[in-house]
């Protein structure tokens, strides 16, 4: 069968870096083709060349049997290529409907916006991805998972022959993932070919037909997924098996589980704290030298709890104690003064200044340390940044490189570095490995265990239960805002934790049925 897309000898250079080196790639019509590799392997560069955001420096492409060389994203759209990026390309101050149909806004008499038609089309698109919300609401008021589904709906708003999905499930619940897979299969049935990029190998094996592995900017191999296994795929992606590293992290966590606190009092104690939007008080203790996990479904209140602790959202009742002393952080700056930090799930918008160099991002949390008489000492700043870049193994060309140029795993390390520079004692992390490849995940896990060993107190939210079970000493489970269980390392069991996470939803189900009858 004639390929729908062919790439031959594609090169892409950036200053000091070869992002793609002689990459060959081919797609068969009607297939779902996985593109895998570690962060920095070249996946994003390849996608951006296909979408017209980048231009290849060498090589040839053919699409639908004709030469293909888009100079702009508009060229790619007109050719029939649709891309949903991991990093959203949205207009937060416009409505959901306007974001969905921005490129094809319906007009009356060719001039006036036809709002009735806009609303109707937007509702139809939202239904396709299982979203029930008012399309007139401004996009900025949606959560990340909802924004992801809006972005997918936008890609489905016009016909095309090739759909590229970059980490589309990173923020979705299992139910939303199931719905997305149904959509992808229906899109394929309509004659659209799909490139699917994901770090979740179970998704790839469930959904995709073939896979191409990239490593260090080169194509390693392409083959049918029926011919391989997850461990073999990981080995091809990272160049080595990861089982040994994961077992070492688990062994270290088991050895240091239930650690003796380095101080008499817990690092943090909540007594009946109620976060925004929750009717239930939450109480627990976090000790120095331990990693405490927060598990639960999307919407269970995990992120809201972290934000309430950090002072980013207003608390609605309850008390909070740090080292035995009552505290109430008025805002995030107050929390930082108390050596408490939060790494949010949206690291690019809320964790880094992407356009600034690494040295600025590292030292921004405490400029007084690298200043004298109110003047920045650039050489001191550079030396300080180099120290933390080495300490956390942030892979970069130099501290003058911008944060935007780093891979996801290295960006996350950079955020941790800036808080360690500030000497944070309590570190809260929300989805610390979202959008990070399997190799970089192992490095982040090792780093977090290292921080616990030196006495830091870590509170970690993750939607990936295996992740929490690898790194945590204890796991607290939230369900609809209620703290429904605590599981210690020697009791870790995925089925048990999931049952707790669903407990409030299952308890509410008969009531819902009664109301409907």
- Tell me the pLDDT tens digit for each residue of 187-233: 888 888 999 998 778 889 999 999 999 988 899 999 999 988 888 88
Predicted pLDDT of residue 397 = 84
pLDDT of residue 511: 40
**Does the pLDDT of residue 330 top 70, yes or no?**
yes
Average pLDDT, the chain: 85
Q: How confident is the model at residue 261 (pLDDT cuts 50, 70, 90)?
A: very low
Ranking 207-211, 250-254, 260-264 by mean pLDDT, the lowest is: 260-264
Residues 459 and 306: beta-carbon distance below 8 Å:
yes
Chain-centroid distance, C-alpha 334: 27
For 456-490, the pLDDT digits (tens) are 999 999 888 888 999 999 999 998 888 999 999 99
Residue predicted with more confidence, 515 or 123: 123
Neighbours of 294 (CB within 10 A): 26
pLDDT band of 513, cuts 50, 70, 90: very low
Q: How far is CA 348 from the centre of its chain?
A: 10
Q: Specify whether the CB–CB gap between 119 and 100 falls below 8 A.
A: no
> In terms of pLDDT, which residue wins out, 250 or 157?
157
Measuring CA to CA, which residue among 93, 148, 155, 503 is closest to residue 345?
148
pLDDT of 314 = 87
Coil vs helix vs strand at 354: coil
CA–CA dist 134, 281 (Å, integer)? 31
Angstrom distance (rounded) from CA 162 to CA 167: 16
Residues 294, 459: contact at Cβ < 8 Å? yes
Residue with tokens 């639908």: 64
Interacting residues of 74 by C-beta distance below 8 A, sequence separation 6+? 52
Q: Is 204 helix (H, G, I), strand (E, B) or coil?
A: helix
Q: Do residues 35 and 19 lie in contact, with contact meaning Cβ atoms separated by under 8 Å?
A: no
What is the model's pLDDT at position 145? 74
4 against 202, higher pLDDT? 4
Q: Which two tokens stand for residue 515?
A: 């109301």
Instruction: Return the pLDDT at 307.
Output: 93
208 or 396, higher pLDDT: 208
d(CA 151, CA 154): 5
Between the two ends of the chain, the Cα-to-Cα distance in Å is 54
Task: Return the H-helix or E-strand segment holding 475.
Answer: strand 474-479
Q: Is the pLDDT of residue 121 over 90?
A: no
Enumerate the β-bridge partners of residue 486. 476
Per-residue pLDDT at 266 exceeds 90: yes
The dihedral formed by the CA atoms of 454, 456, 462 and 465, expressed in degrees to the nearest 10: 50
- What is the average per-residue pLDDT within 269-273? 95
Bridge partner list, 481: none
Of the two residues 495 and 19, the one the predictor is more confident about is 19
HSE-up (13 A, CA, CB side) for residue 250: 14
Residue 306 scores a pLDDT above 80: yes
DSSP class of residue 403 equals: G
> Is it the case that residue 507 has pLDDT exceeding 80?
no
Are 135 and 95 contacting, i.e. CB atoms less than 8 angstroms apart?
yes
Query: Whose CA is closest to 397, among 452, 344, 359?
Result: 359
Q: Please answer whether residues 411 and 361 qualify as being in contact, where contact means their C-beta atoms are separated by less than 8 angstroms.
A: no
Mean pLDDT of 378-402: 90
309 pLDDT band (50/70/90 cuts)? Answer: very high
Strands 474-479, 482-488: parallel, antiparallel or unpaired by DSSP? antiparallel
In angstroms, the CA 150 to CA 88 distance is 10
pLDDT of residue 241: 58
Residues near 200 by Cβ (< 8 Å), separated by ≥ 6?
A: 169
Domains and their CATH numbers in the chain:
5-239 (3.40.50.300), 244-339+425-516 (3.40.50.300), 348-421 (no CATH)
Q: What's the DSSP call for residue 225?
A: G
Does 248 score more than 70 pLDDT? no
Residue 284 has φ and ψ, to the nearest 5°, of -170, 170
Buried b (16+ CB within 10 A) or exposed e, 21-37: bebebebebebbbbbbb
pLDDT of residue 260: 45
Q: Is the pLDDT of residue 437 over 90?
A: no
Mean pLDDT of 354-376: 90
As a whole number, mean pLDDT of residues 399-405 equals 90
Task: Output 176 or 380, whichever has higher pLDDT.
Answer: 380
The mean pLDDT value for 8-20 works out to: 86
Which of 200, 247, 209 lies closest to 228, judged by CA? Answer: 209
What is the spatial distance between Cα 51 and Cα 69, in angstroms, rounded to a whole number?
A: 10
User: Which of the residue ranges 138-142, 248-252, 466-470 has the most confident prediction, judged by mean pLDDT?
Assistant: 466-470
Identify which of 198, 259, 258, 191 has the alpha carbon closest to the alpha carbon of residue 233.
198
Cα 52-356-17 angle, rounded to 5 deg: 50
pLDDT for 166 equals 87
Q: Say what the pTM is.
A: 0.64
- For residues 213, 219, 222, 227, the Cα torsion angle rounded to the nearest 10 degrees is -50
- Give Cβ neighbours of residue 66 (< 8 Å, ≥ 6 apart): none
Predicted confidence (pLDDT) at residue 242 exceeds the cutoff of 60: no
Question: What percent of the chain stands above pLDDT 90?
Answer: 39
């Amino acid at each position: 069968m004639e390929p729908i897309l062919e790439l031959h000898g594609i090169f892409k250079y950036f200053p000091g870096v070869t992002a793609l080196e002689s990459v060959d790639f081919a797609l068969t019509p009607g297939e779902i083709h996985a593109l895998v590799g570690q962060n920095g392997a070249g996946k994003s560069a390849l996608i951006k060349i296909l979408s017209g955001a980048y231009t290849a420096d060498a090589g040839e492409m053919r699409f639908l049997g004709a030469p293909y060389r888009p100079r702009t994203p508009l060229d790619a759209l007109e050719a029939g290529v649709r891309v949903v990026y991991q990093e959203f390309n949205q207009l937060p101050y416009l409505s959901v409907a306007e974001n969905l149909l921005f490129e094809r806004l319906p007009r009356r008499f060719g001039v006036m916006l036809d709002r009735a038609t806009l609303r109707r089309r937007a509702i139809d698109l939202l239904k396709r991805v299982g979203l029930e919300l008012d399309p007139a609401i401004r996009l900025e008021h949606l959560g990340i998972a909802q924004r992801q589904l809006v972005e997918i709906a936008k890609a489905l708003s016009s016909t095309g022959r090739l759909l590229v999905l970059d980490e589309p499930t990173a923020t979705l619940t299992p139910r939303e993932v199931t719905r997305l897979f149904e959509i992808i299969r229906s899109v394929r049935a309509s004659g659209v070919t799909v490139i699917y990029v994901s770090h979740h190998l179970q998704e790839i094996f469930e959904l995709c037909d073939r896979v191409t592995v990239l490593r260090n900017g080169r194509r390693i191999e392409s083959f049918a997924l029926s011919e391989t296994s997850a461990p073999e795929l990981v080995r091809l992606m990272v160049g080595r098996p990861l089982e040994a590293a994961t077992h070492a992290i688990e062994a270290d966590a088991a050895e240091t589980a239930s650690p003796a606190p380095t101080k008499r009092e817990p690092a943090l104690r909540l007594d009946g704290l109620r976060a925004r939007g929750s009717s239930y008080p939450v109480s627990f203790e976090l000790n120095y030298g331990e990693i405490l996990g927060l598990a639960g479904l999307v919407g269970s209140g995990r992120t809201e709890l972290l934000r309430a602790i950090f002072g980013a959202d207003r608390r609605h009742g309850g008390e909070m104690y740090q080292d035995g002393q009552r505290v109430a952080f008025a805002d995030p700056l107050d929390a930082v003064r108390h050596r408490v930090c939060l790494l949010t799930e949206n690291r690019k918008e809320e964790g880094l200044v992407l356009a600034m160099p690494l040295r600025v991002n590292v030292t921004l949390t405490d400029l007084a340390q690298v200043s004298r008489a109110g003047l920045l000492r650039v050489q001191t700043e550079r030396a300080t940044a180099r120290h933390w870049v080495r300490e956390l193994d942030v892979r970069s060309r130099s501290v003058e490189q911008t944060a935007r140029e780093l891979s996801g795993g290295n960006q996350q390390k950079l955020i941790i570095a800036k808080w360690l520079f500030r000497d944070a004692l309590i570190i809260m992390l929300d989805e610390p490995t979202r959008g990070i490849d399997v190799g970089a995940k192992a490095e982040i896990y090792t780093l977090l265990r290292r921080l616990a060993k030196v006495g830091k107190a870590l509170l970690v939210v993750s939607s990936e239960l295996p992740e929490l079970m690898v790194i945590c000493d204890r796991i607290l489970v939230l369900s609809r805002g209620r703290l429904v269980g605590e599981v210690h390392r020697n009791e870790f069991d995925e089925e048990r934790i999931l049952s707790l996470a669903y407990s409030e939803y299952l308890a509410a189900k008969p009531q819902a049925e009664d109301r409907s009858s």
